[in-house]
Amino acid sequence: MLLDGEPVLGKAERDEAALPILLIDLLHRERALSDRELQLAWPMIARAAHHLVGRGPTTVLDRWEDTSGATPFTIATEIAALVCAAEVAARLGDARSASRFHATAECWDAEIESLLYRGGGALADAVGVDGYYVRARLPDQPFPELDLAHLPATEVSPDALALVRFGVREPDDPRIRNTVRVIDAVLAAEFPGGHV
């Protein structure tokens, strides 16, 4: 949005509703936000979390503003934000919101693989893994056939590592390890200074 609050592009990115919740949680955990200030922030947290529950886990626009659907970054931020919002709701005595946010986070967590994990296929076979998380996918659409020489922009991205950064998947999860191998195989390059 612009500084005056006017929306840009007219489309909401779900991570833009999730990230402020995570910032407030971080500030509170680091003692940069008092309990009283957290209580004052609760109406904003609640509105953002209810917005996520009502419109997620997919997004109209991803954080790179070039695709829609399910993305690892968006889902990871949404799940983490809903868990934080549930904890704040419980602390402030709003058991109904706490239950709703927690249940939604658990449901979306359970759907990640069906939404974003491509099992097998030409790229997985070429890299020697059983599957990997894709960058973006429209729910209920089949994974596209791949031409390894011309992968779609929605196929591979380090954005899948947001599942680890936001605590949704463990770094040693075999699916994450497979995804890292695919990311390296597709996106890595050799430079005089080393492998990047």
Averaged pLDDT, 156-167 = 94
Average pLDDT, integer, range 54-66: 71
Domain that holds residue 178: 14-195
- pLDDT of residue 3 exceeding 60, the answer is no
**What residue has token string 């983490």?**
80
Considering the domain boundaries, does residue 45 fall inside one?
yes
The total of structural domains in the chain comes to 1
What mean pLDDT is predicted for residues 77-94? 96
* 9 belongs to a structural domain: no
Tokens of 186: 């597709």
pLDDT band at 2 (very low <50, low <70, confident <90, very high): low
Say if 1 falls within a structural domain: no
- Looking up residue 157, the CATH number of its domain turns out to be 1.50.10.10
Looking at the predicted structure, is the pLDDT value of residue 1 above 80? no
Say if CB 101 and CB 82 are below 8 A apart: yes
What's the pLDDT tens digit per position in 8-21? 555 567 778 899 99
Share of the chain above pLDDT 90, in %: 67
Would you state the torsion angle of the CA atoms of residues 178, 139, 80, 153, taken in this order, to the nearest 10 degrees?
A: 50
* 96 located within any domain: yes
8: in domain: no
How many residues would you count in the chain? 196
Question: What does pLDDT average to over the chain?
Answer: 89
Indicate if the pLDDT at residue 89 is higher than 70: yes
